Amino acid sequence: MSYGKDINTLFLADASLVAYCNGGIQYENLPKEFDLTKSWIAYSFRKNDQTDCLSTKNAYTTYQITAKIVAPDTNTMEIISDHLVEYFNGNSQGEIVDIWFTSDDHQIDLEKRIYMNSLNFDSFYVG
């Protein structure tokens, strides 16, 4: 497995999260001309730190996950945000052994009439 496959599996494994995101859950970018009346998550990840232990190379790696929630109203955005934090905190998948919430950042696009929240998580990966 890889980190990308493990995190994708985790996002898609929760039926409630998939149902809340009636537009979809996408890696990196939303589709061009995405439907503004639907709710979406666009997620990405990056390596933060790699730790070696004695003679073992890459004993574990920490990653940062960013999940940008896009919704047509603040209520839906908050429901998805709260659900994702509750779902991810302490969760694991494959070689991802822990995930924890670190911060969020709310935005609004008045022209498009959409509300966004970028949630940040750190994770511990032993692969």
Q: How large is the average pLDDT for residues 7-35?
A: 96
- CATH number of the domain to which 93 belongs: 3.30.2000.10
Q: pLDDT over 90 for what percent of the chain?
A: 86
pLDDT, position 26: 97
Token couple for 15: 């039926």
- Average pLDDT for 96-105: 96
- Report pLDDT for 71: 98
Contact criterion met (CB below 8 Å) for 71 and 115? yes
Burial group, residue 94, by CB count within 10 angstroms (0-12, 13-18, 19+): middle
Mean pLDDT of 99-123: 97
Range of the domain at 11: 3-125
Quote the tokens at residue 73: 């109203």
Q: Looking at residue 54, what is its pLDDT?
A: 65
Q: What is the mean pLDDT of the chain?
A: 93
CA distance 47 to 69: 21
Q: Is the pLDDT of residue 56 over 70?
A: no
Reported pTM: 0.91
Number of domains in the chain: 1
Model pLDDT, residue 18: 97
